[in-house]
Amino acid sequence: MTGSPVIVPGAVFGVVGALAAFPLRLAAREVERRHAELRRGVTRRTTHVVFGRALLVKAALAKTGDAEIERRVAAERGAGRMLVSENGFLRLLGLLKGPEASSLSRQSLIDQSRLAADDLDMLSLFDAFEHDGEPYSFRDLILARKYAGLIASGASWGAIARSVHRSGPVASLTAKSLNLGSQHGRPDAIYLDEGRSELDGQLLFDLGAAEDDTLEDLFAEAEEAEEEGRHDDAASLYQRCLAIDPRDAVAAFNRANCLRGAGRAAEAAHDYARAIKLDPGFVEAWFNLAGLMNDEGKVASARRHLQKAIALDKTYADPVFNLAKLEFDAGDLAEARRLWARYLELDAESEWARIAQKGIQFVDLQLARMSAS
């Protein structure tokens, strides 16, 4: 290793999927002790995204398979967030010692193993190597060559990642032959040696994760209900999450969104306020509460909340656009124009940008007419 990784004070970690190796509450304590934050899910303030290995199991049961994981990884990477594996997270927290004798760059590993870059990145993110990122070790190179052979035989990165974590430390696989399960009627499994034994067992730290498993399962069930548009069911599930962990601002925010979708505006406003109380910097909660207030005809309140969202995150374009429209509807054309111009500095390409451009043109025309009359 080139040095011990550390958590930078002020970092905000978001967890996607349940953690398989250790309880979230333990991680939350360690992150807080380092003056950083840990949240379920991802918000605009999130700087690091930890991908839980339980996602692999969920993906195996879903119709979309591993494609949804790949989509989420691409989205978070595209947003500029740092992606962290479970083992990488443990090392950041000082709960897992980093492996030694690493010197291979990512490109060198790709060149020498012929493993595709995307597969390398996904397998690294789900801890199928000794290291979760460069520099890699010689043992990682051996594993990469084995994985490349499995993929050439028809295996997916997801099938490999699901299988290797049933065997114990992945580095122990370097001395064994790995074979694709299609030869034995199990296309989703990887076999050791000549197929005499399937990789089995679990690699879990006994740190009292039962309560966390229940909470993570509830949260995942709530997210699924929300995605399916079952707003009342999702709100009830998020409420159960909050009963277990009353400090979860994301659960309160998600519940508010579901309540709003179910037409329960008063309850939604209460939970947006709850999310803000738990996390005053939760810019999306300020923004969504502003939208709810505007829907209710409470324009002054909506204005204040939008202004707060803009003050918290000066790169967040959506509240700028909505405030411009609010000021336009209120008759303050000059302020609307200023805000639309600011919006175009943040977003010059979208459909909303074209609306902002038309808004500016309309205001300029109106102001020109007023000055001429």
Average pLDDT (255-281) is 96
CATH of the domain at 71: 3.40.50.10190
Q: How many CB atoms lie within 10 A of CB 327?
A: 20
Residue 267 within any structural domain of the chain: no
The last residue of a domain, from among 51, 68, 93: 93
Residue with the larger pLDDT of the pair 82 and 22:
82
Phi (first) and psi of residue 276, to 5 degrees: -70, -40
The CA-atom distances, in angstroms, between 211 and each of 87, 161, 216, 333 are: 21, 25, 9, 55
> How many CA atoms are closer than 13 Å to the CA of 116, on its beta-carbon side?
10
Domain that holds residue 21: 1-93
Within-domain flag for 191:
no
Q: Which residues contact 210 (CB under 8 A, 6 or more apart)?
A: none
Rg (CA), the chain: 25
Structural domain includes residue 132: no
Residue ending a domain, choose from 63, 93, 123: 93
DSSP of 21-34:
SS-HHHHHHHHHHT
User: Crossing angle of helices 283-295/299-312, nearest 10°?
Assistant: 160
Q: Would you state the structure tokens that stand for residue 285, as one six-digit string?
A: 């909660």
Assigned token pair, 35: 């003056």
- The identity of residue 91, as a single letter, is R
pLDDT score recorded for residue 220: 83
Please, what is the angle between helix 106-113 and helix 138-152, to 10°?
Answer: 50
> pLDDT grade, residue 368 (50/70/90)?
confident
pTM above 0.85, yes or no: no
Return the half-sphere exposure (C-beta side, CA atoms, 13 A cut-off) of residue 354.
Answer: 3
Distance CA 63, CA 371 (A): 62
The pLDDT of residue 180 = 60
Q: What is the pLDDT of residue 167?
A: 64
- CA angle centred on 281, ends 71 and 37, rounded to 5°: 65
More confident residue, 281 or 168: 281
Has residue 329 been placed in a domain?
A: yes
Contact indicator for 166, 189 with CB cutoff of 8 Å? no
- Grade residue 270 by pLDDT with cuts at 50, 70 and 90: very high
Q: What is the reported pLDDT for 193?
A: 52
Residue 280 covered by a domain: no
* Within-domain flag for 75: yes
Q: Report the share of the chain in percent with pLDDT over 90.
A: 59
The residue written with tokens 């494609």 in the block is 67
With cut-offs at 50, 70 and 90, classify the pLDDT of residue 207: very low
Burial class (CB in 10 A: 0-12, 13-18, 19+), 166: middle
**Encoding tokens for residue 276?**
């803000």
CB atoms within 10 A of CB 114: 12
The residue out of 32, 66, 93 marking a domain boundary is 93
Sheet of 12-16, strand order: 37-40, 12-16, 48-51, 82-84
Counted domains in the chain? 2
Alpha carbons 246 and 23: distance in angstroms, whole number: 17
Residue written as tokens 């947003």?
79
- 89: pLDDT confidence band, cut at 50, 70 and 90? very high
Tokens in use for 147? 């994985």
Query: Pick from 96, 169, 88: which is nearest to 131 by CA?
Result: 88
User: Looking at beta carbons, which pairs linking 235-240 to residues 24 or more positions away fall under 8 Å?
Assistant: 235/259, 235/262, 235/264, 235/267
Write the pLDDT tens digit of every residue in 39-67.
Answer: 988 999 999 999 999 888 888 777 778 99
276 is a domain residue: no
Neighbouring CB atoms inside 10 A of 4's CB total 10
- 25 located within any domain: yes
Cβ count within 10 A of residue 91 = 21
The per-residue pLDDT of the chain, averaged, comes to 86
- Render pLDDT for 135-157 as a digit per residue (tens, 0 to 9): 999 999 999 999 999 899 888 99
